[in-house]
A and B are shown apart, each in its own frame.
Chain A
């Protein structure tokens, strides 16, 4: 362990702990437990995350290595999230692999886990800023239901909001007036949520389609309930991340009501969301729905 400590250098230090730079995740040591943010120039895979996780540092920053097949270059973020360790990955082209000090100096964050987000770490931030926030802010422990990443992206003149949230299950009372942009699939199990929330419009993921197009079967069922909706291609937008649906999403399918509003396959999700928010409600107004209780 002493050897490992010798392979670390101090980038920042205060009463709460330190930001330590090291060339490899293997160099994380017991001395870092509950105290230091470890900036290590390994990839952010599960294997290095196991080295990091066993010592439970205050926070961790690694390198995304281009993310790679099946997200292997950032999979460790989710491992560390389960251990409540804030963790982020830096864009592999922003600094040199295997050089922890260079990562601290020049790295730019590309991916964050939920506890890191709680600390205020965001994509595009410098590694130095991200590590500083991890050192200074304790992530709040939140129940799974409380991690909804809800944000109003825009409000139309008629008062309808386009709201990003990570799952249709996180819909709230009042969302019947809004367009919800979420990131679960649109299979049959999404329908009970859609039925209860009754959003004015929705955009979810197609879940990679699945066998028998089961990932978009909810579109037709929703149409029958008077709900206009569309899906984005799961290959282009991260599932479970409503903001990714909004920013990265490309429409892969839509139901008839959404088509009537001008939504088309191939359109950017943000454009489609605006069209849904501006659509005329003459097919199924909010009042109609309240009266008919979903019997359409």
Chain B
């Protein structure tokens, strides 16, 4: 793909030593601190020097510096830049045993090493620089002196363990921060561990082997099938309370960053019972896990309730009961189904009601039900998945309402912006699109044929959105289909309840779950939703019976 690289032609510029202006800024114990405006100016004179280069700290500039074996390197972070390309050189240099740090973009001019030395402050470090004592926020000149005089210890390209005890309860339990669960010690069975790997299948195996008092790990981003947090449920079964932090709030692999800046994105049931919730800081959540005190909220079976169901403020406040005790009891019986664990969990149903409320334009109710869903243990990714479900079903305005509510309940990290540009896509052929719908419906509906004939690009988009939203979503497929049953019942569309009840059944939902999902439309859209909802359910049952017969 590339033009052949011909060494004779390569980078003919600035090969001569007189093209490499350098300035000596300081010496410490015989080690020079040298200023160069471009990484390109580094040469064999710099072996053993601390080099301050006013280039960005990317891989390309440090490739030019590393062969000359400086003792340490400081370059410019250029505001980190896309995909961390402004500081990627830190990791390249670490592998070669060279301590390195980056300067904060706003503290110093690019291309001006003197300004970096005089005014720059450190923003990022590699682990070797950290072991020389360099920390973010430090003036650059001070960092340069440390790199010139301190020994980082083992420079080999191999494992480096960081571990620190942050808090102890005086009863033999502590919060320990270490970058990976594989760095845990036997004594950590008594401790809460804050680590920075993902919480998928492999993470769970390591966590169970350690069996800590509590754990907080990374969520691994929006990984396919929720596989970055799938270990949480398995660890519930192992009796281990824990949570994940959102890796858009703190870096993976850096548990100390998670401790300082991380926010919880998901918890397991045992952690939820200890008060851990999405949106909390990692420090708060770790303290709750250290305290290990079970709360009783949401754990009592519905039979023992003596108060109104929690979901309806009109029942809770007594406004409805003041008009009619009987009517209030009736609504409460419906809410007993929608607000308590049954065929579906209370939290799942609250998420469905929040989605339906967003569709109907009820912002306050969206927020209220979303808060109940989250308090009941619904994960950040499930909320994101529900947002995508209402987006495909009812469009961007509804998504906006849902997102606004999610940000009030969970904080602004629920739906973050991704700087990535539009990725390439291979268009779906009409045959492929038809095959997709045939697999889903058993035939190609006429409205799909119409789109294929006149707006094939829109059909392509429809297929892409539908494939993700219904099958690959952050919320599991069965729950997406059930959520759309609630939404369409609330909109009085029997036809779409039929479609999604069918989808839910194929994804493994029971009849009781389908019915509960449709009942969830009643608090949102009234009993008027039940008739079309029931029609939709019944139509599908007929189809299934028919095809079986």
Contacts and interface: CB of A to CB of B under 8 A. Distances in A.
Contacts of B76: 207, 210
Contacts of B78: 185, 205, 207-208, 210, 215, 234, 239
Contacts of A193: 13-14
Contacts of A42: 197-198, 202
A67 interface: yes
B83 A74 contact: yes
Interface stretch (B251-259, B312-320, B370-378): B251-259
A24 B105 CA distance: 35
A192 to B, nearest CB: 7
B157 to A, nearest CB: 4
A39 B79 CA distance: 32
A152 interface: yes
Interface string B112-127: 1001000100001011
Contacts of A95: 224
Interface stretch (B62-70, B298-306, B354-362): B62-70
A43 B203 CA distance: 12
Contacts of A239: 56, 58, 60, 78, 81-82, 85-86
Contact of A237 (B82, B105, B203): B82
A151 B1 CA distance: 7
B160 interface: yes
A75 B88 CA distance: 6
A43 B13 contact: no
A11 to B, nearest CB: 17
Interface size, B (range): 35 or more
Contact of B60 (A23, A167, A188, A215): A167
Interface string A224-246: 00000000001111111100100
Contacts, number: 336
Given A234-B78, A239-B85, A184 B197 contact: no
Of A45, A193, A215, A235, most buried by chain B (CB within 10 Å of CB) is A45
A92 interface: yes
Contacts of A144: 60, 63-64, 66-67
Contact of B160 (A50, A113, A147): A50
B248 interface: yes
A99 B254 CA distance: 22
Given A42-B202, A50-B159, A78-B88, A66 B13 contact: no
B203 A98 contact: yes
A285 to B, nearest CB: 23
Contacts of B5: 142, 146, 148, 150
A247 interface: yes
A240 B2 contact: no
A185 B108 CA distance: 14
Contacts of B88: 71, 75, 77-78, 240
Given A214-B109, A244-B82, A78 B202 contact: no
Interface stretch (B89-97, B288-296, B341-349, B455-463): B89-97
Given A43-B253, A46-B91, A82-B66, A63 B223 contact: yes
A212 interface: yes
Nearest to A111: B83
Contact of A92 (B14, B37, B86, B224): B224
A47 B162 CA distance: 11
Contact of A149 (B2, B9, B109, B222): B2
Interface string A199-220: 0000001011111101101100
B58 A240 contact: yes
Contacts of B231: 98
Nearest to B41: A189
A27 to B, nearest CB: 8
Interface stretch (A12-20, A131-139, A170-178): A170-178
Interface string B172-199: 0000000110100000000000001110
A79 B96 CA distance: 8
A116 to B, nearest CB: 13
A218 B109 CA distance: 12
A248 B9 CA distance: 28
Given A82-B95, A92-B222, A236 B80 contact: no
B40 interface: yes
Interface size, A (range): 35 or more
B107 interface: yes
Nearest to A69: B251
Contacts of B254: 47, 72
A53 B3 CA distance: 31
A36 interface: no
Contact of A74 (B38, B84, B86, B227): B84
A97 B220 contact: yes
B85 A49 contact: no
A1 interface: no
Nearest to B162: A47
Contact of A209 (B87, B105, B107): B105
B54 interface: yes
A169 B91 contact: no
A142 B88 CA distance: 19
Contact of B13 (A47, A171, A185): A171
Contacts of B472: 93
A176 B202 CA distance: 54
Contacts of B119: 211
B13 A53 contact: no
B12 interface: yes
Nearest to A26: B182
Nearest to B124: A70
A240 to B, nearest CB: 4
A151 B111 CA distance: 26
Given A69-B248, A82-B93, A94-B224, A235 B79 contact: yes
Pick the 9 closest A-B CB pairs, nearest first: A71-B84, A208-B79, A187-B111, A66-B221, A98-B200, A72-B251, A214-B109, A189-B111, A45-B253
Interface of A: 23-24, 26, 41-43, 45-51, 53-54, 63, 65-83, 92-99, 111, 113-114, 122, 124, 142-152, 166-167, 169-173, 183-185, 187-190, 192-193, 196-197, 205, 207-212, 214-215, 217-218, 234-241, 244, 247-248
11 contacts: A43-B220, A48-B253, A68-B252, A82-B93, A97-B224, A172-B12, A209-B79, A210-B79, A235-B81, A236-B82, A240-B61
